[in-house]
Amino acid sequence: MKMTITRHLPYSCRDQVVLGFGRGYKQLGIPPRLISLSKVNNLPADISSGIYYDWASIGSRDGQKMVVSIGWNPYYENTKKSMESHTMHTFKEHFYGEILRVAIVGYLRPEKNFDSLESLISAIQDNFFQVSKSKIMNDH
């Protein structure tokens, strides 16, 4: 199964940061950077939904380690597949319309539902910090 998940990795794309569902920063306290639906629809057909680790840069800023979610976000019961890159770095401004460059380099876990918003936030933070430099260097 892992072969199916990772055979397209590393995978990179670039697109403008688009306005999302309006809940990321307000509810999660972790601002997602959403990729447009057209790019999501152009992902390889057999790339699994789930949580991946990636390097991403916004505009002319340096690249940062991030976590990217590809799928339907079961906690929110999305009806459209999305791709959201989350950073733990706090920026003072939003980046709507700026170019986001994403390089997905590894798979963390499948998508799953959560019992509460707090457990979802905790999982996002745990996934981010579980991606060590050595893991990224050893895997890709």
Q: Which residues belong to the active site?
A: 84
Distance of CA 128 to the CA centre of its chain: 10
E-assigned strand segments in the chain: 11-16, 32-34, 50-58, 64-71, 82-86, 99-109
Secondary structure letter of residue 18 according to DSSP: B
Instruction: Tell me the chain's radius of gyration from C-alpha atoms.
Output: 14
- Give the closest residue to 68 by CA, choosing from 96, 98, 109: 109
